[in-house]
Homo-oligomer: A and B are copies of this chain.
């Protein structure tokens, strides 16, 4: 399998720019695909490495400099991602000060289709034992020290390694493989999180998948096999009856978060969560195992178009509460020395009504075997506010 190293800090390797086509790799020429790596210059993106993968049908951008997050994606005329107030990203972490604005500085770089939160902690800023923890942790703002591209018949993989380390605190290695197939409408993010310490380590990871217009619009819908549903706070409680339907942009409206346990297939734990447009003619689905990612949060930010009209579909190891809260509810993963936790999420783009309907059928099938419990207000052990 042809492999190409783009970054390898340990061996002082780094490619400023790089391009690969099937022809270069000696692989089947159809469907035509390409991978392009570039370094961005100027503005807040100065020094950011970007990898653009176009599998011939689905195109997406990987950002090694931002912890291997996914920036934007596109299938034909359908743009995935969102119109973030960040405006001129992707932002080099050198220009992100996580401690700004009372620990909310993470927002300064938040404009991605997929932003990972974690790995030592995610959730709102908090303080514990004199130590401060900032919004959604560090992983999105750590450049990958190793990046490689692998190409074989029917498979294109971008591999990246990121260290989230701090003496006396944490030492986690993330090895991500972002894979797609030429001509496919899906991409898969498979992450291995390994505790490199000689003592046990916390692990928290939340996959912040974000979708704005056009998929999100007045009347678009969230569809998933829900086992438990809890509104996070008063704003979410007020919108509970229509939690799965989107309104149009309403400037100044409060964000709403719904905490869920999704049901998975009995044997594999596989579940699927869908966002479809109003007409049901396009959508995106996330497929993953609830065994790896037992918690799911639905984030609805339905403010103005220019203020971040966006929804987050967020499979995770736990809920976005401060870690001490999650720890006491047993939702923080503990990794023994050298132990690895694997999580895999597949993004499927549904390009027509038939594809949407097929996903909905899968959801119905799983839901049929599961009672849906809806809590009318915030309730333990999911949320403290009541």
Contact = CB atoms under 8 A, between A and B. Distances in A.
A42 B64 CA distance: 9
A119 B247 CA distance: 32
Interface string A273-309: 0000000000000000000000000000001111110
The complex is assembled from copies of this chain, and their number is 3
A95 B47 CA distance: 12
A181 interface: no
Interface in A173-207: 196-199
A140 interface: no
A132 B102 contact: yes
A2 B221 CA distance: 50
Interface in A72-101: 84-88, 92-95, 97-101
Contacts of A252: 198-199
Contacts of A42: 7-9, 13-14, 49, 64, 143, 145, 147
A294 to B, nearest CB: 28
Contacts of A328: none
A88 B304 contact: no
B110 A167 contact: yes
Given A132-B102, A251-B337, A9 B43 contact: yes
A249 B337 CA distance: 14
A100 B308 CA distance: 27
Contacts of A142: 44, 95
Given A87-B165, A99-B100, A104-B131, A306 B43 contact: no
A152 interface: no
Nearest to A138: B100
A168 B102 CA distance: 13
A268 interface: no
A313 B13 CA distance: 33
A45 interface: yes
Nearest to A146: B43
A51 to B, nearest CB: 13
A7 B267 CA distance: 54
A242 interface: no
B43 A337 contact: no
A147 B43 CA distance: 9
Contacts of A306: 171, 196-198, 337
A158 to B, nearest CB: 15
B85 A165 contact: yes
B101 A98 contact: no
Nearest to A165: B85
Given A85-B196, A107-B168, 5 more contacts: A9-B88, A85-B166, A100-B134, A167-B308, A198-B307
Interface of A: 7-10, 12-14, 16, 38, 40-47, 49, 64-65, 84-88, 92-95, 97-102, 104, 107-108, 110, 127, 130-134, 142-147, 163, 165-169, 171, 196-199, 249, 251-252, 303-308, 337
What 8 pairs across the A-B complex have the smallest Cβ distances? A198-B304, A43-B145, A198-B251, A94-B94, A14-B42, A14-B41, A88-B145, A7-B42
